[in-house]
Amino acid sequence: MRLRSALAASAGALALLLATPGPASAASGQFRYTYTTTDGYEAVGFMNNPDSGTCINIQGPGSEPGSAAYAPHNRTDATATVFLEAGCEGDAFYTLRPGGGASDRLLVRSVVFS
């Protein structure tokens, strides 16, 4: 009888352990991009250890709402897919390998890390 109770308690503890969510996944490193401020100056924005699997809209401090950033550099350990449209939507996207970068011609408004 005690063995049955011990087994039931162990099974319940295991089920509880498996049901508890693990830590959130994040890309290690920094993602950089360039943007133009409302005063017309070029500035660099960055994200440190961005969340993986979550779409992140890119907006530089002081830039015009809806304006695109450019020249992204993926200095993380994850693949970054950048999109021309906000919300990681649309057919215009580009994939940056870990450590990869793109020219000033590549415009970006959102990014997701794998």
Q: Please report, for the domain that includes residue 82, its CATH number.
A: 2.60.20.10
How high is the pLDDT of residue 61? 72
pLDDT digits (tens, 9 = 90+) for 72-109: 999 999 999 999 999 999 999 999 999 999 999 999 99
Cα separation of 74 and 46, whole Å? 10
In a domain, 76, yes or no: yes
In a domain, 6, yes or no: no
Mean of pLDDT over the chain: 83
In a domain, 43, yes or no: yes
| Structural domain harbouring 54 | 29-113
In a domain, 19, yes or no: no
* CA–CA distances in Å: residue 40 to residues 62, 67, 86: 10, 12, 22
Cα separation of 93 and 55, whole Å? 13
In a domain, 4, yes or no: no
In a domain, 5, yes or no: no
How high is the pLDDT of residue 92? 93
**For residue 20, pLDDT beyond 80:** no
In a domain, 8, yes or no: no
State how many domains the chain has. Answer: 1
In a domain, 83, yes or no: yes
